[in-house]
């Protein structure tokens, strides 16, 4: 029987970071991961350069059934603290957009940093090692994990197994199964930061816009209770993607519409009425001076389906028709039939219910069992927030492990 203080299940961002800190605090730590490749999600993130945090992080940037839960961990380990570690390891980075920090060279630099931190703490790592069974012996307070390399006994078990997103790189439901095994509640997992799909027939007129990107305002829900983002939108053959859509997808409820303002910085009605006074160009040509030409052409052609004739010179159009065109472009309401699923989702929303966890240490109400990172019902916005949650929850957990296990040893 191999014996350690802590077994960390999952060798991704949260698991490696937690293991490194706990090891450096004097604990004997073993990381188990069923995948041969370490931290694959870091490797593919941010176009291979890993958007590893955001300079401006608050609990408001996260979704959870228990919104206040993340505050303690996020305050306990800030983006500035992670940036200091990145600098300490000599990794170049840059800010790309709205506080998003990326590696200058490659996400591999970040992975090697985490591995060096693990090495500094004497952390053992068994990769390509499936977790077969987990047991808890209440009397000594130990966990036993069966693996192909033999059984392992530990005083604490940290579940950092991630969610269900991107199955091709090894996503697993192990964390959710362990939560159920120990009678911990789950918030139903669902794909998040994911493209949206529409009915094929209804989407046919817009499929020709595939590849077109433009800045929009996108919203869901009521004006008071809904969410709203100003980000880029990307048309696809099956629906909508791009940063704005990924952001709103985490808030979208099945069966409800989303609303798009395709010209958020323009008063289209005023522009068209002004053009009517001095121009004989076709409406599509006037629109093309304000919006991408492909979008302008598509909207004008769809006028008849919406009860308007927009295929005429702007000076011949009625104010009512021009106002209707502007309204269609600035408040386009449409209802997705679903998402592109876990295959295209960047993260998984939902997960282990935080009401069963300590916000200070990430320990569950099952003694010695901890959950960190994506497996927990805390989901960040696009832009480095989910990695910051991984670092912050891992740090809180490692500090909690050290305080508990060193005190009891």
Domain containing residue 96: CATH number: 3.50.50.60
Is the separation of the CB atoms in 402 and 72 below 8 Å? Answer: no
The predicted pLDDT at position 13 comes to 98
User: Region 306-325: what's the mean pLDDT?
Assistant: 92
Nearest Cα residue to 191 out of 36, 347, 86, 50? 347
The predicted pLDDT at position 97 comes to 86
Q: How far apart are CA 372 and CA 56, in angstroms?
A: 21
User: Region 149-156: what's the mean pLDDT?
Assistant: 97
Q: How far apart are CA 148 and CA 274, in angstroms?
A: 74
The domain boundary, picked from 314, 339, 364, lies at: 339
For residue 409, pLDDT beyond 60: no
Same domain, 314 and 361: no
Number of domains in the chain: 2
Same domain, 369 and 327: no
Same domain, 359 and 222: no
The domain boundary, picked from 322, 339, 356, lies at: 339
> 383 vs 34, 56, 163, 371, 402, CA distance in Å?
28, 10, 18, 23, 31
Same domain, 310 and 369: no
Same domain, 131 and 15: yes
The predicted pLDDT at position 224 comes to 59
User: Region 363-388: what's the mean pLDDT?
Assistant: 98
Same domain, 185 and 239: no
Q: Check which CATH number belongs to the domain holding 285 and give it.
A: 2.40.30.10
Same domain, 6 and 119: yes
- Say what percent of the chain tops pLDDT 90: 93
Q: In degrees, to the nearest 5, what angle opens at C-alpha 77 toward C-alphas 172 and 124?
A: 50
Same domain, 268 and 150: no
43-102 pLDDT tens trace: 999 999 999 999 999 999 999 999 999 999 999 999 999 999 999 999 999 999 889 999
Residue with the bigger pLDDT between 198 and 308: it is 198
Same domain, 133 and 223: no
pTM of the model: 0.95
170-198 pLDDT tens trace: 999 999 999 999 999 999 999 999 999 99
E strand or H helix at 351: strand 347-352
Same domain, 157 and 214: no
- Say what percent of the chain tops pLDDT 70: 98
> 291 vs 171, 264, 328, 342, CA distance in Å?
40, 11, 13, 33
The predicted pLDDT at position 374 comes to 98
The domain boundary, picked from 310, 339, 368, lies at: 339
Range of the domain at 92: 2-191+347-408
Q: How far apart are CA 77 and CA 245, in angstroms?
A: 29
Q: For the CA atoms of 377, 61, 252, 237, what is the dihedral angle to 10 degrees?
A: -110
Same domain, 28 and 123: yes
Same domain, 228 and 241: yes
């Amino acid at each position: 029987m191999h014996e350690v203080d802590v077994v960390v299940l999952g060798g991704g961002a949260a698991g490696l970071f937690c293991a490194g800190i706990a090891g450096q605090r004097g604990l004997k730590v073993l990381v188990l991961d069923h995948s041969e490749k370490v931290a694959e999600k870091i490797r593919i993130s941010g176009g291979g350069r890993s958007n590893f945090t955001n300079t401006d992080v608050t609990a408001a940037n996260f979704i959870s059934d228990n919104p206040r839960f993340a505050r303690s961990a996020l305050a306990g380990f800030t983006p500035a603290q992670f940036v200091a570690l990145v600098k300490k390891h000599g990794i170049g980075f840059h800010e790309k957009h709205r506080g998003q920090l990326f590696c200058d060279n490659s996400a591999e630099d970040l992975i090697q940093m985490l591995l060096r931190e693990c090495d500094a703490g004497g952390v053992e790592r068994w990769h390509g090692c499936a977790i077969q069974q987990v047991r808890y012996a209440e009397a000594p307070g130990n966990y036993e994990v069966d693996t192909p390399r033999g059984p392992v006994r530990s005083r604490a078990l940290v579940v950092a197994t991630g969610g269900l997103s991107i199955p091709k790189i090894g996503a697993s439901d192990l964390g959710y199964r362990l939560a159920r095994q120990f009678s911990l509640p789950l918030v139903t997992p669902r794909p998040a930061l994911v493209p949206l799909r529409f009915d094929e027939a209804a989407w046919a007129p817009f499929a020709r816009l595939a590849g077109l990107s433009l800045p929009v305002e996108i919203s869901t829900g009521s004006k008071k209770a809904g969410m709203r983002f100003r980000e880029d939108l990307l048309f696809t053959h099956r629906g909508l993607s791009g940063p704005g859509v990924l952001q709103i997808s985490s808030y979208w409820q099945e069966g409800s519409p989303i609303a798009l303002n395709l010209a958020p910085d323009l008063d289209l009605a005023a522009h068209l009425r002004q053009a009517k006074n001095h121009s004989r160009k076709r409406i599509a040509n006037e629109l093309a001076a304000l919006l991408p030409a492909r979008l302008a052409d598509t909207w004008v052609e769809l006028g008849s389906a919406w009860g308007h004739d927009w295929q005429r010179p702007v000076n011949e159009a009625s104010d009512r028709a021009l106002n209707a065109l502007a309204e269609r472009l600035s408040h386009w309401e449409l209802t997705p039939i679903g998402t592109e699923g876990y295959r295209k989702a960047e993260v998984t929303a939902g997960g282990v219910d935080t009401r069963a966890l300590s916000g200070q240490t990430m320990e569950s109400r099952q003694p010695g069992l901890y959950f960190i990172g994506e497996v927990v019902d805390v989901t960040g916005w696009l832009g480095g927030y989910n990695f910051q949650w991984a670092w912050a929850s891992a740090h809180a957990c490692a500090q909690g492990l050290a305080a508990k296990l060193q005190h009891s040893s």
